[in-house]
Amino acid sequence: MTEIFNYLPFDKDYLILGMAILLIVLFIVSIVQMILTIKMRKRYKKFMKGKDGVSLEGSFLKAYDEIKALKHEDEENKESIKLINKHLYHSYQRTGIVKYNAFQGMGGKSSFALALLTQGKNGIVINSIHGREMSSVYIKEIRKGECDTALSPEETEALDIALGTKKE
């Protein structure tokens, strides 16, 4: 055995030192692997606690069925939301109201102009004029924020409030 060491181009002490370092590194790696294995075994035991193969499979199937049901419910909800958005687009969302005194000498602001608009800026302006002897209600159609007929100053103000171009 000593004859082999005589043919090495370096001192045998370096070889022994290198082998000792390699042995220490391998020892550290094996300790780390043992710790990781123990941790994994604990997690596995916790996962499998009280379960056998049949009940575990049942748990997975139950979870799969629940996910399938949730996906189906999600699709139904998406369809409902689309329908709601479609109806919401055509509902009155923008409003503006101006109360005013149509006739001098009457107490209080008993007349009003009310603008009701959809998201697409379509809708109506209702003008209710209240006097001592009579009351009148007028309605004008609004298309894309514009009216084909002339608007009174109060109706214009109510429309501007509904369009957001004027604050109340």
Beta bridge partners, 138, equal 127
pLDDT in tens, 147-157: 889 999 999 99
In the chain, domain spans: 60-89, 94-163
Q: What is the pLDDT of residues 4-26, one digit of tens each?
A: 666 767 777 887 899 999 999 99
HSE, side-chain direction, 13 A CA sphere, residue 21: 6
AA identity, residue 3: E
pTM of the model: 0.54
Angle at 108 (CA atoms; ends 102, 110), nearest 5 degrees: 55
